Structure 1
Amino acid sequence: MKALFNPIRLRSLEIKNRIVMSPMQQYSAQDGIPNQWHLVHLGSRAVGGAGLIITECTSVAPKGMNTLYDLGIWNDKQVSAWKPIVDFVHQQGSKIAVQLWHAGGKGSSSHPNEGMKPLNEEEGGWVPKSSSNTPIGRHQPEAMNLEEIQRVKVDFVTAAKNAIRAGFDSIEIHAAHGYLFHQFYSELINQRTDQYGGSFENRIRLLVETVEEIRKVISSEMPLLVRLLATDYSDDAKAWTLDNSLQLSKILKEKGVDLITASGGGFVNVDSAIVKPGYQLPFATRIKEETEIKVGTVGMITDALQANAIIESQQSDLIVIARELLRNPYFAINAAMELGENPAIPWQYKRAYQH
């Protein structure tokens, strides 16, 4: 069997292949409730053979959203709406993880079709909160006080419990791309002088404490994943670096994290000259080699041969695919056929593959 289609086990969770649907925001929810769009969007990738489906970033609180159209998992109505989606993915033989998230200082934005502009109160917006009052793009957040920081941890724990109720197989914490946890651990944003700012240990404290609290309330058999920011892609002396990520990854592994997916950017624009197929793979490989934790890789991975070579050479454990799965929901089935494997095609579609 080709490496890309070898099963992988994370704690007690067995994933049938190494192809993962990356979280991709759809901005199509109302009141954080998933709907038929999300059922088809996520479900079709499961029909298409992806081993693990990860939901788009799913807010742990109303004011943790980026826009008013983001998904949530902070109340019973949302949990109930998630259940048929989770059940459908399972019926296709795939597994599903929820990506828990808080936008922090990037919150209170208009819909992308309306320019992602900061919303005012009359438009349904709120004052976004961050580690500090450092501007983030067009947003001017306020610094969280200690009580608000503790509340965030409670919100993540509640969301984790809700994810279990909804039937999710795993939880991923979104700690990258300029959102709340990244706003704490990168000194480009964090200017605090209390126990959540200043030193490396203080700046990673919120993420580490949240991991610890979530690990307490989920089963010892449930894997916990983290999407981590590998580098700020900035020459600023305060920028987060891959060496910082290596140090943090070791700590997260000790705290019970089972897999890290590493990507970059969030506060600055990535130089287009470096963007090429597999351009973020070295981050995952370094983390894997130096911490011995399982990793996922992202970044313009678009074809079966490329994906299989990455797994075969043990540069990464999972291939986390975003835009290519938007273009081709059946990437996994097509990749299996290209690599000479016998894909598990839903019986309803088999006639399309018979000659």
Structure 2
Amino acid sequence: MVGSDQKVLADATSEARRLLKDEAAAVLNLADRIGDDFVMALEILMNTRGMVFISGLGKSGLIGRKIAATFSSTGTPAYFVHPVESLHGDIGLISPGDVLIAISHSGSNEELLRPARILVQRDVKIIAMTSSPNSPLAKIADVTLDLGVKKEACPLGLAPTTSTTATLAMGDALAASLIVAKGIKREDFAMSHPAGALGRRLLMKVREVMHPRDAIGLVSPETTIRQTVAEMTKMPLGAVCVVDEAGDLLGIVTDGDVRRILLKSHLDELIDEPVASVMTRSPVRVRENELASHALALMEDRPSQISVLPVVEPGSDKLVGLVRLHDLIQLGMK
């Protein structure tokens, strides 16, 4: 690489750092703009009995689509409507009592203003997101969220960069506030994300991932350690559960326990002792109707991690299965 090329790349990477710092500063500036107007916008969104629509043109429209998706996935159903398409029939989707979040950096985009003016007459609440608080859009809006972006971070000062980043961040701030205000829980969030690793973490129950009772090693307290090791070899899941005659969980012996037993100096005497003498009594267990993510937390969020967990019936100690850390990791729970 010649020297001139190196200088160009150095200047380019320096510009990248500057842009990121400028955009970060614009986002941080929004925190100081969370005031009465933001609260009013939040109240409008919370109190509407209608639908939430989001509209914007060009890059603002792309950001609007993402904000609508975030709203919908976090408990506030929202739809993006293209301002031009709205003038060719789509405006019929929006009814009195609905809310429109109108996005425009300049606030003077006529393609957005035309449908917004019509919707004002329909008793649709308008929330403007703009950096021009005295613009035509701000003047017809019920409330304006001033993003305060004075210039774009683009080296030419032309391409939407800082303005779109700030708009996206303000949309996220609204979505996060609505989560808190509406009392949205993780379980509610999961209902909108049933697929993939996220859905598994938030929805999958222990009974769906456990090895059933007939697939795990079971012994009684009187079973010898020798016989217990044989049972563990026969059912290689990393542990054998100790149960009483009624099938209730009494203890567990893991692969790690066996290794520690083998290191004892009096192994010949110990090997034919009852397993009750070496088992872990009243081990940590999980209910079959609990979330698999809870089982993962029980195994990992402790001073000494464990790799297997007995599963019992709700409201009792009746053993119904065994869940392994390895299986949860394979399912993408971690």
**TM-score of the superposed pair, with normalisation by structure 1:** 0.26
Q: Which structure features the higher share of helix residues? A: 2
Higher relative contact order (CA 8 A, sep 6+): 1
**TM-score of the superposed pair, with normalisation by structure 2:** 0.28
Structure with greater Cα Rg: 2
